[in-house]
Structures are given as C-alpha cells and as structure tokens.
Amino acid sequence: MTTNVIIQQSQPGSTSVHSDQWSTGIFDCLDDMSVCCAAYWCFPCFTCKTAADFGECLCLPLVDIMNISLQMSGIPCVPPVSLALRVGVRNRFGIRGDICSDCMYVTFCNMCSWCQIAREMKIRQQPVTIINSNPTVVSSQPTMISATSMEVSPRLTVANT
C-alpha cells in the first residue's frame, strides 16, 4: 500500500511592497499611537531618537530650537535639521516629492512631519515575512486492497498414482 503525496512548496523570494509614496499621510499621526504620544509629550527627545534611528547624530535636532524661538516671535523660518532629515528619508526610501512641499511641511507642520518620518522609518525597516500555510496537494489517491486478495494459502494437491 503506497501513497504518493507530493506537496508543492513556495520558494523563498524577495517581494517589495513599498511604493514611491509616503506610507501614511502628513496628518495621520493617530495611526501609530506610540509615535504620536512620544512626539506630543516630549518632542525634543522624540526628534533626537528619530534622528539617531536614521543614523544621524543624536543631538542634531536640538539645532532646530533656535528656529522654534524665531517662529514664536512671528518670523517663519525653515528648520534646517528637520528639512534635511525629511529630504534624507525621501531619498533613502525612494519617495517622490519636492523640496518646496518639504519646506512647507517642516515650517508649518513640524511635529506632524517628524511623526510621518518616524512612522515611515518604522514601516519601511520592518522585514517582510510571507507565510504560506496551505500546501497544495497534487496527488494522494490510496490504492484499495481487498480482503480476498490477501488470503493466500498454499494448496496441497495430492496426486494418486
């Protein structure tokens, strides 16, 4: 009684699921509550950690504090570190965009911009795992053996001569 079972398994390969767009929008801060809360409760610490995760100096975002004081006085100016990091993230992950929109985001929506950067790095740096749990069975027909064919007994024949 032999049964042939052939299972076709998927071969490992690389699949890219990331596009040339941001994974989340600029105002989707509530999509990742840990990022949102960290940015809200301690924005300087959050920016320093995000910059370090990107591979930059830990204290680099503290340079932007001068720009915050200028913005509080009513003088809009572009925070250079925020702009540089946003452009760097776009270039590293191949996200389309332009410097003009980056300037607008970091100048007028700086916290939202940093949250978007942190979410993007978190999403894009996760390894992609594809699990195929349903094997495809190609052939599994068992052969039937009847009970009568299993009764094999030697027959003695006596010849009268």
- What is the model's pLDDT at position 11? 45
pLDDT > 90? residue 133:
no
- How far is 46 from 52, CA to CA, in rounded Å? 10
Give 48's pLDDT tier (boundaries 50, 70, 90): very high
- What is the model's pLDDT at position 159? 63
pLDDT > 50? residue 15:
no
> What is the end-to-end Cα distance of the chain in Å, rounded?
44
**For all residues of the chain together, what is the average pLDDT?**
80
Tokens standing for 11?
A: 């071969």
pLDDT > 90? residue 99:
yes
